[in-house]
Amino acid sequence: MDIVEDIVSEMAAEQCTAPAVCIQQGAYLLELSLDWIVLRASENIHQLLGESHVTLIDEPLGKFVHSQALHDLRNLFSKLSGTTGIGRAFAVRLTDDPDLVDIAFQQVDGRVLLEAVPSVGCFGECFGSVGGLIAGLANSKGQALLDGGARRMRALTGYDRVILSCGDRRAESSRGAFSGSVDPAELPILIANTAAPAVHLFPRDDEDSAALAALLRAADDAAGPKLEGTGVRALLRIPFGADGLNCEFRCESRSPRDPNFELHAAAELFAQMFAMRLAIDEASG
Protein backbone atom coordinates (compact mmCIF):
# COMPACT_ATOMS: atom_id res chain seq x y z
CA MET A 1 0.00 0.00 0.00
CA ASP A 2 1.54 3.37 -0.95
CA ILE A 3 1.66 6.48 1.23
CA VAL A 4 -1.49 7.99 -0.31
CA GLU A 5 -3.53 4.87 0.46
CA ASP A 6 -2.07 4.82 3.99
CA ILE A 7 -3.29 8.37 4.59
CA VAL A 8 -6.73 7.59 3.13
CA SER A 9 -7.09 4.52 5.33
CA GLU A 10 -6.06 6.43 8.44
CA MET A 11 -8.62 9.15 7.71
CA ALA A 12 -11.38 6.59 7.15
CA ALA A 13 -10.54 4.87 10.44
CA GLU A 14 -10.85 8.04 12.54
CA GLN A 15 -13.65 7.84 15.08
CA CYS A 16 -16.87 9.19 13.63
CA THR A 17 -18.66 11.16 16.31
CA ALA A 18 -22.04 12.89 16.48
CA PRO A 19 -23.41 14.91 14.88
CA ALA A 20 -21.57 13.68 11.75
CA VAL A 21 -23.38 11.20 9.52
CA CYS A 22 -21.22 8.12 9.01
CA ILE A 23 -21.44 4.70 7.39
CA GLN A 24 -20.71 1.41 9.14
CA GLN A 25 -17.39 -0.30 8.63
CA GLY A 26 -17.52 -2.95 5.89
CA ALA A 27 -20.11 -1.01 3.88
CA TYR A 28 -19.65 1.66 1.22
CA LEU A 29 -21.83 4.64 0.42
CA LEU A 30 -22.14 7.01 -2.53
CA GLU A 31 -24.54 9.93 -2.54
CA LEU A 32 -25.31 10.88 -6.14
CA SER A 33 -27.27 13.51 -8.00
CA LEU A 34 -30.16 12.33 -10.17
CA ASP A 35 -27.68 12.51 -13.06
CA TRP A 36 -25.44 10.10 -11.10
CA ILE A 37 -22.74 12.64 -10.32
CA VAL A 38 -20.90 11.81 -7.08
CA LEU A 39 -21.75 14.36 -4.37
CA ARG A 40 -20.51 12.50 -1.32
CA ALA A 41 -18.59 9.27 -0.73
CA SER A 42 -17.57 7.18 2.26
CA GLU A 43 -13.90 7.59 3.03
CA ASN A 44 -13.28 3.85 2.53
CA ILE A 45 -14.56 3.95 -1.07
CA HIS A 46 -11.04 3.33 -2.44
CA GLN A 47 -11.42 -0.27 -1.22
CA LEU A 48 -14.40 -0.67 -3.56
CA LEU A 49 -13.59 1.49 -6.58
CA GLY A 50 -9.83 1.84 -6.36
CA GLU A 51 -10.06 5.64 -6.22
CA SER A 52 -9.79 8.10 -3.34
CA HIS A 53 -13.04 9.60 -2.08
CA VAL A 54 -11.59 13.01 -2.88
CA THR A 55 -11.12 12.07 -6.54
CA LEU A 56 -14.76 10.98 -6.97
CA ILE A 57 -16.47 14.19 -5.88
CA ASP A 58 -18.28 16.07 -8.69
CA GLU A 59 -17.38 13.35 -11.19
CA PRO A 60 -19.84 11.02 -13.00
CA LEU A 61 -20.01 7.57 -11.42
CA GLY A 62 -19.60 6.07 -14.90
CA LYS A 63 -15.99 7.23 -14.88
CA PHE A 64 -15.14 4.71 -12.16
CA VAL A 65 -17.37 1.65 -12.78
CA HIS A 66 -17.99 -0.70 -15.69
CA SER A 67 -20.44 0.66 -18.24
CA GLN A 68 -22.61 -2.48 -18.11
CA ALA A 69 -22.91 -2.30 -14.32
CA LEU A 70 -23.88 1.37 -14.52
CA HIS A 71 -26.40 0.67 -17.29
CA ASP A 72 -28.05 -2.12 -15.27
CA LEU A 73 -28.20 -0.05 -12.09
CA ARG A 74 -29.67 2.97 -13.84
CA ASN A 75 -32.32 0.78 -15.50
CA LEU A 76 -33.29 -0.60 -12.11
CA PHE A 77 -33.35 2.88 -10.64
CA SER A 78 -35.64 4.16 -13.42
CA LYS A 79 -38.26 1.66 -12.27
CA LEU A 80 -37.91 2.91 -8.71
CA SER A 81 -37.98 6.66 -9.40
CA GLY A 82 -40.90 8.48 -7.79
CA THR A 83 -41.35 5.85 -5.07
CA THR A 84 -40.08 5.58 -1.52
CA GLY A 85 -38.94 1.99 -2.04
CA ILE A 86 -35.48 0.45 -2.00
CA GLY A 87 -33.99 -1.08 -5.12
CA ARG A 88 -31.50 -3.92 -4.87
CA ALA A 89 -29.03 -5.61 -7.18
CA PHE A 90 -27.07 -8.72 -6.26
CA ALA A 91 -23.68 -10.12 -7.27
CA VAL A 92 -22.63 -6.99 -9.17
CA ARG A 93 -19.12 -6.51 -10.53
CA LEU A 94 -18.47 -2.76 -10.49
CA THR A 95 -14.79 -2.79 -11.51
CA ASP A 96 -12.13 -5.25 -12.67
CA ASP A 97 -11.90 -6.49 -9.07
CA PRO A 98 -13.20 -10.10 -9.07
CA ASP A 99 -15.08 -9.60 -5.80
CA LEU A 100 -18.83 -9.09 -6.24
CA VAL A 101 -21.02 -6.73 -4.24
CA ASP A 102 -24.69 -6.47 -3.36
CA ILE A 103 -26.18 -3.01 -3.79
CA ALA A 104 -29.15 -1.17 -2.27
CA PHE A 105 -30.24 2.20 -3.62
CA GLN A 106 -33.04 4.63 -2.94
CA GLN A 107 -34.13 8.13 -3.91
CA VAL A 108 -34.10 10.59 -1.00
CA ASP A 109 -34.74 14.33 -1.31
CA GLY A 110 -33.65 14.47 -4.92
CA ARG A 111 -30.53 12.38 -4.32
CA VAL A 112 -29.61 8.79 -5.08
CA LEU A 113 -28.19 6.87 -2.12
CA LEU A 114 -26.18 3.86 -3.24
CA GLU A 115 -24.87 1.43 -0.63
CA ALA A 116 -22.69 -1.59 -1.35
CA VAL A 117 -21.61 -4.58 0.75
CA PRO A 118 -19.69 -7.75 -0.13
CA SER A 119 -22.03 -10.19 -1.85
CA VAL A 120 -23.29 -13.01 0.35
CA GLY A 121 -24.68 -15.11 -2.50
CA CYS A 122 -28.08 -16.20 -1.14
CA PHE A 123 -29.69 -15.82 -4.58
CA GLY A 124 -33.34 -16.36 -3.68
CA GLU A 125 -32.98 -18.67 -0.68
CA CYS A 126 -34.43 -16.08 1.69
CA PHE A 127 -37.40 -15.19 -0.52
CA GLY A 128 -38.28 -18.85 -1.10
CA SER A 129 -39.32 -19.40 2.50
CA VAL A 130 -41.53 -16.30 2.97
CA GLY A 131 -44.71 -17.75 1.43
CA GLY A 132 -44.63 -20.89 3.58
CA LEU A 133 -43.97 -18.93 6.75
CA ILE A 134 -46.96 -16.66 6.10
CA ALA A 135 -49.19 -19.60 5.14
CA GLY A 136 -48.56 -21.10 8.56
CA LEU A 137 -50.36 -18.12 10.13
CA ALA A 138 -53.63 -18.67 8.28
CA ASN A 139 -55.56 -19.87 11.33
CA SER A 140 -53.93 -17.62 13.93
CA LYS A 141 -55.81 -14.74 15.53
CA GLY A 142 -55.25 -12.04 18.15
CA GLN A 143 -52.17 -12.43 20.31
CA ALA A 144 -51.46 -15.84 18.80
CA LEU A 145 -51.04 -14.13 15.41
CA LEU A 146 -48.51 -11.70 16.84
CA ASP A 147 -46.62 -14.47 18.64
CA GLY A 148 -46.57 -16.53 15.44
CA GLY A 149 -45.33 -13.57 13.43
CA ALA A 150 -42.41 -13.01 15.82
CA ARG A 151 -41.47 -16.72 15.77
CA ARG A 152 -41.57 -16.91 12.00
CA MET A 153 -39.54 -13.74 11.54
CA ARG A 154 -36.90 -15.26 13.82
CA ALA A 155 -36.96 -18.44 11.72
CA LEU A 156 -36.57 -16.38 8.53
CA THR A 157 -33.72 -14.19 9.74
CA GLY A 158 -31.89 -16.50 12.14
CA TYR A 159 -31.49 -13.71 14.72
CA ASP A 160 -31.53 -14.61 18.42
CA ARG A 161 -34.47 -12.41 19.41
CA VAL A 162 -37.36 -10.84 17.50
CA ILE A 163 -39.61 -8.25 19.12
CA LEU A 164 -42.82 -7.35 17.29
CA SER A 165 -44.51 -4.15 18.35
CA CYS A 166 -47.73 -2.84 16.87
CA GLY A 167 -49.25 0.09 18.71
CA ASP A 168 -49.48 -0.99 22.34
CA ARG A 169 -49.42 -4.70 21.44
CA ARG A 170 -46.20 -6.68 21.67
CA ALA A 171 -44.86 -10.17 21.02
CA GLU A 172 -41.41 -11.65 21.46
CA SER A 173 -39.59 -14.76 20.31
CA SER A 174 -36.19 -15.33 21.84
CA ARG A 175 -33.42 -17.91 21.96
CA GLY A 176 -32.32 -17.45 25.57
CA ALA A 177 -32.63 -14.38 27.76
CA PHE A 178 -31.56 -10.83 26.96
CA SER A 179 -30.97 -8.17 29.61
CA GLY A 180 -33.62 -5.68 28.54
CA SER A 181 -33.86 -3.67 25.33
CA VAL A 182 -33.00 -0.23 23.95
CA ASP A 183 -35.48 2.30 22.58
CA PRO A 184 -35.38 1.76 18.79
CA ALA A 185 -35.87 5.46 18.03
CA GLU A 186 -33.17 6.82 15.73
CA LEU A 187 -31.41 3.45 15.36
CA PRO A 188 -30.31 2.52 11.83
CA ILE A 189 -32.23 -0.14 9.91
CA LEU A 190 -29.20 -2.43 9.92
CA ILE A 191 -26.38 -2.67 12.43
CA ALA A 192 -23.78 -5.29 11.53
CA ASN A 193 -21.52 -4.93 14.57
CA THR A 194 -22.14 -2.55 17.45
CA ALA A 195 -18.43 -2.61 18.39
CA ALA A 196 -17.00 -1.72 14.97
CA PRO A 197 -15.77 1.85 14.34
CA ALA A 198 -17.68 3.94 11.82
CA VAL A 199 -16.40 5.58 8.63
CA HIS A 200 -16.79 9.25 7.77
CA LEU A 201 -18.48 10.53 4.63
CA PHE A 202 -16.71 13.12 2.48
CA PRO A 203 -17.22 16.04 2.35
CA ARG A 204 -17.69 15.96 6.11
CA ASP A 205 -20.08 18.91 6.04
CA ASP A 206 -23.49 17.22 6.44
CA GLU A 207 -25.48 20.13 5.01
CA ASP A 208 -28.10 18.89 2.51
CA SER A 209 -26.94 15.29 2.90
CA ALA A 210 -29.49 12.53 2.38
CA ALA A 211 -27.25 9.97 4.11
CA LEU A 212 -29.40 9.88 7.27
CA ALA A 213 -31.70 7.59 5.31
CA ALA A 214 -28.93 5.07 4.57
CA LEU A 215 -29.71 1.50 5.63
CA LEU A 216 -26.20 1.13 7.05
CA ARG A 217 -25.87 4.57 8.59
CA ALA A 218 -23.75 4.30 11.72
CA ALA A 219 -25.53 4.57 15.05
CA ASP A 220 -24.71 7.54 17.26
CA ASP A 221 -22.05 7.30 19.94
CA ALA A 222 -24.45 6.35 22.73
CA ALA A 223 -26.50 3.69 20.93
CA GLY A 224 -23.74 1.10 20.41
CA PRO A 225 -22.73 0.78 24.07
CA LYS A 226 -26.39 0.71 25.14
CA LEU A 227 -27.11 -2.15 22.74
CA GLU A 228 -24.01 -4.04 23.82
CA GLY A 229 -25.12 -3.60 27.42
CA THR A 230 -28.26 -5.62 26.63
CA GLY A 231 -26.24 -8.30 24.85
CA VAL A 232 -26.99 -7.09 21.30
CA ARG A 233 -24.15 -7.00 18.75
CA ALA A 234 -26.21 -6.83 15.54
CA LEU A 235 -29.65 -5.47 14.72
CA LEU A 236 -32.19 -5.55 11.90
CA ARG A 237 -35.31 -3.35 12.02
CA ILE A 238 -38.32 -3.76 9.70
CA PRO A 239 -40.87 -0.98 10.24
CA PHE A 240 -44.28 -1.42 8.61
CA GLY A 241 -47.79 -0.06 8.83
CA ALA A 242 -50.91 -2.02 9.75
CA ASP A 243 -54.44 -0.71 10.35
CA GLY A 244 -53.11 2.83 10.73
CA LEU A 245 -50.61 1.78 13.41
CA ASN A 246 -46.84 2.07 13.26
CA CYS A 247 -45.48 -1.44 13.67
CA GLU A 248 -42.01 -2.94 13.64
CA PHE A 249 -40.18 -6.23 13.71
CA ARG A 250 -36.90 -5.78 15.55
CA CYS A 251 -34.38 -8.59 15.14
CA GLU A 252 -31.40 -8.79 17.52
CA SER A 253 -28.30 -10.98 17.50
CA ARG A 254 -25.76 -11.71 20.24
CA SER A 255 -22.97 -11.87 17.67
CA PRO A 256 -22.06 -9.65 14.70
CA ARG A 257 -23.92 -10.38 11.46
CA ASP A 258 -22.70 -9.50 7.97
CA PRO A 259 -25.15 -7.08 6.31
CA ASN A 260 -27.39 -9.00 3.93
CA PHE A 261 -29.57 -6.95 1.56
CA GLU A 262 -31.45 -10.01 0.31
CA LEU A 263 -32.39 -11.06 3.83
CA HIS A 264 -33.51 -7.49 4.53
CA ALA A 265 -35.69 -7.53 1.40
CA ALA A 266 -37.20 -10.90 2.35
CA ALA A 267 -37.93 -9.62 5.87
CA GLU A 268 -39.64 -6.56 4.37
CA LEU A 269 -41.78 -8.84 2.18
CA PHE A 270 -42.72 -10.96 5.19
CA ALA A 271 -43.69 -7.81 7.12
CA GLN A 272 -45.89 -6.58 4.26
CA MET A 273 -47.67 -9.93 4.01
CA PHE A 274 -48.00 -10.10 7.79
CA ALA A 275 -49.65 -6.67 7.74
CA MET A 276 -52.33 -8.11 5.44
CA ARG A 277 -52.88 -10.98 7.89
CA LEU A 278 -53.31 -8.43 10.68
CA ALA A 279 -55.86 -6.54 8.58
CA ILE A 280 -57.82 -9.75 7.94
CA ASP A 281 -57.75 -10.58 11.66
CA GLU A 282 -58.96 -7.07 12.56
CA ALA A 283 -61.79 -7.23 9.99
CA SER A 284 -62.97 -10.63 11.23
CA GLY A 285 -62.64 -9.76 14.90
Domain ranges of the chain: 3-118, 125-284
| In the chain, % of residues over pLDDT 70 | 89
| Fold that domain 3-118 belongs to in CATH | Beta-Lactamase (3.30.450)
The model carries a pTM of 0.87
Residue 18 has pLDDT above 50, yes or no: no
**Is 86 within 8 Å of 116 (Cβ atoms)?**
no
pLDDT band at 80 (very low <50, low <70, confident <90, very high): confident
In this prediction, residues 180-195 reach a mean pLDDT of 82
| Confidence band, pLDDT 50/70/90 cuts, at residue 47 | very high
pLDDT at 10 over 60: no
Q: How far is CA 123 from the centre of its chain?
A: 17
Q: Model confidence over 235-285: pLDDT tens digits?
A: 999 999 987 889 999 999 999 999 999 999 999 999 999 999 998 888 886
pLDDT score of 215 = 95
Superfamily of domain 125-284: GAF domain (3.30.450.40)
Average pLDDT, the chain: 87
pLDDT tops 80 at residue 123: no
- Going from the C-alpha of 116 to that of each of 31, 198, 260, the distances in angstroms are 12, 15, 10
Alpha-carbon radius of gyration of the chain: 20
pLDDT class for 5, splitting at 50, 70, 90? Answer: very low
Q: Are 64 and 37 in contact (CB under 8 A)?
A: no
Weakest mean pLDDT among 19-33, 61-75, 217-231, 257-271: 217-231
Residue 152 has pLDDT above 90, yes or no: yes
Contact partners, residue 114, CB within 8 Å, separation at least 6 = 29, 30, 31, 32, 73, 103, 104, 105
Supply φ then ψ for residue 112, to 5 degrees: -110, 120
> What is the side-by-side order of every strand in the sheet holding 190-191?
169-174, 161-166, 245-253, 234-242, 190-191
> Tell me, what's the pLDDT at 248?
95
Identify which has the larger pLDDT, 208 or 72: 72
Cα gap 144→171, rounded to integer Å: 9
Q: What is the pLDDT of residues 89-98, one digit of tens each?
A: 999 999 999 8
Domain 3-118 and domain 125-284, same fold? Reply is yes
Tell me the three-class secondary structure of the chain, residue by residue: CCHHHHHHHHHHHCCCCCCCCEEECCCEEEEECCCCEEEEEECCCHHHHCCCHHHHCCCEHHHCCCHHHHHHHHHHHHHHCCCCCCEEEEEECCCCCCCCEEEEEEEECCEEEEEEEECCCCCCHHHHCHHHHHHCCCCCCHHHHHHHHHHHHHHHHCCCEEEEEECCEEEEEECCCCCCCCCCCCCCCEECCCCCCEEEEECCCCCCCCHHHCCCECCCCCHHHHHHHCCCCEEEEEEEEECCEEEEEEEEECCCCCCCHHHHHHHHHHHHHHHHHHHHHHHHC
Asked if the peptide bond before residue 203 counts as cis, ω within 30 degrees of 0, the response is yes
Contact by Cβ (8 Å): 156, 148: no
Return the pLDDT at 184.
Answer: 65
